[in-house]
């Protein structure tokens, strides 16, 4: 069986008047059936653009310049818009949008919005059947099925997030992409939502990409981790391995930047400087201006991802190449 999703050397640039914004610049990763991968990085590092490229819902200024996205062996980059809509989106890959608070249309009933998603992708389903499926989905995500005729403003933040998850599950996808599913929610609600996602993955055998800036959320809900910095994946592999022994200086700093509530009180660690402008990324390794271990070669040559020990741990850093 082919890998469920195999992204190879994906390049997506945005055209602006000042030049190309290299938002995604040679990104590769793979997800097997049933696996969950965390895609982590700061704002503006290109995480969301990766997802928009996979689903081909980029804004007009964005273009996939190079690379392949194989989904069950089919290259999505080559598919037409109609094929994407009829075969891939929602049935194969669905998306839980960022900011669920605003992802629902305030003037339509929640149930009608779920029915619309079903009927767009499966035109033979009648509205009545679609609503019936909506009720089942509501039950699945822990909402009262009788609330299907409510408007979004009648839902609390946590309920809206559940409804958006229900909508993403409407056409039985194989891969669920969740873009910051828990940010802007209070901790307790956040924990409830993450627990729901975990439980759904188990019962529905879903694969998942979880996009977030919060490493601690990834730590408890994923198997794999890809750390992105300025349009590139700097470290990729098995989650537990990376947490135990992060090799890229950026990953190391990022892990330290998340304080553990249970640990002894200790000074907070920051990464000096700020993320680069992707219109004019630094030459060589893009992290070199902020890197504490920067060497001569770092600003001259771009490091390529190297496998460390096993295939399941790749790092793009000259420090590792040297060893």
Closer to another protein at the Cβ: 88 or 227?
A: 227
Closer to another protein at the Cβ: 88 or 178?
A: 178
What DSSP letter does each residue of 295-309 carry, written as one string?
Answer: -GGGGTSPPPPEE-S
Closer to another protein at the Cβ: 32 or 238?
A: 238
Name the packing angle between helices 127-140 and 110-121 (round to 10°): 110
Q: What minimum distance in Å lies between the beta carbon of 25 and another protein?
A: 20
3-state helix, strand, coil in the chain (%, to 5): 40, 25, 40
Closer to another protein at the Cβ: 69 or 271?
A: 271
Sign of the C-alpha dihedral computed for residues 78, 81, 85 and 90 taken in this order: positive
Q: What minimum distance in Å lies between the beta carbon of 221 and another protein?
A: 9
Q: What minimum distance in Å lies between the beta carbon of 273 and another protein?
A: 8
Q: What minimum distance in Å lies between the beta carbon of 35 and another protein?
A: 14
Closer to another protein at the Cβ: 119 or 201?
A: 201
27 CB-side CA count, 13 A: 30
Q: What minimum distance in Å lies between the beta carbon of 138 and another protein?
A: 17
Q: What minimum distance in Å lies between the beta carbon of 201 and another protein?
A: 15
Q: What minimum distance in Å lies between the beta carbon of 33 and another protein?
A: 21
Binding site for another protein (CB under 8 A): 42-43, 156-158, 186-192, 194-195, 213-217, 219-220, 239-240, 243, 253-255, 257-262, 265-272, 274-275
Closer to another protein at the Cβ: 80 or 266?
A: 266
d(CA 34, CA 207): 4
Closer to another protein at the Cβ: 1 or 268?
A: 268
Residue 194 C-alpha from the chain's centroid: 14
Closer to another protein at the Cβ: 95 or 222?
A: 222
d(CA 54, CA 48): 10
Q: What minimum distance in Å lies between the beta carbon of 194 and another protein?
A: 8
d(CA 81, CA 9): 22
Inter-residue contact 71 to 4 (CB < 8 Å): yes
User: Residue 298: which of 314, 322, 268 has the closest Cα?
Assistant: 322
For residue 305, what are the CA distances in angstroms to 48, 120, 234, 318?
21, 40, 7, 9
Task: Give all strands of the β-sheet with 224-229 in edge-to-edge order.
Answer: 93-96, 175-179, 207-212, 36-40, 224-229, 232-238, 313-315, 306-307
């Amino acid at each position: 069986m082919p890998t469920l999703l195999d992204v190879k050397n994906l390049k997506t640039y945005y055209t602006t008047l000042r030049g190309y914004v290299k938002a995604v610049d040679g990104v590769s990763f793979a997800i097997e059936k049933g696996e969950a991968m965390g895609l982590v990085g700061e704002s503006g590092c290109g995480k969301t653009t990766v997802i928009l490229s996979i689903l081909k819902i980029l804004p007009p200024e964005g273009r996939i310049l190079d690379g392949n996205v194989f989904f069950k062996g089919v290259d999505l980059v080559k598919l037409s818009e109609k094929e994407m809509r009829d075969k891939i989106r929602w049935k194969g890959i669905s998306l839980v949008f960022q900011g669920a608070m605003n992802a629902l249309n305030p003037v339509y009933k929640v149930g009608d919005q779920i029915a619309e998603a079903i009927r767009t992708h499966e035109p033979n389903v009648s509205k009545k059947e679609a609503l019936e499926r909506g009720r089942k989905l509501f039950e699945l995500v822990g909402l009262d099925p009788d609330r299907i005729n409510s408007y979004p403003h009648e839902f609390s933040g946590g309920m809206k997030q559940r409804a958006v998850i229900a909508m993403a599950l409407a056409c039985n996808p194989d891969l669920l992409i969740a873009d910051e599913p828990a940010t802007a929610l209070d901790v307790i609600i956040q924990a409830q939502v993450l627990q729901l996602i975990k439980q759904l993955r188990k019962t529905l055998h879903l694969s998942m990409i979880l996009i977030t800036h919060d490493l601690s959320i990834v730590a408890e809900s994923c198997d794999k981790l890809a750390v992105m910095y300025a349009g590139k994946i700097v470290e990729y592999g098995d989650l537990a391995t990376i947490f135990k022994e992060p090799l890229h200086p950026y990953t190391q700093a990022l892990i330290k930047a998340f304080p553990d509530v249970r640990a002894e009180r200790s000074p907070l660690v920051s990464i000096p400087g700020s993320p680069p402008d992707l219109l004019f990324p630094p030459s060589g390794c893009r992290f070199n201006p902020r890197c504490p271990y920067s060497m001569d070669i770092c600003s001259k040559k771009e490091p390529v991802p190297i496998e460390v020990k096993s295939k399941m741990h790749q790092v793009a850093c000259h420090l590792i190449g040297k060893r």
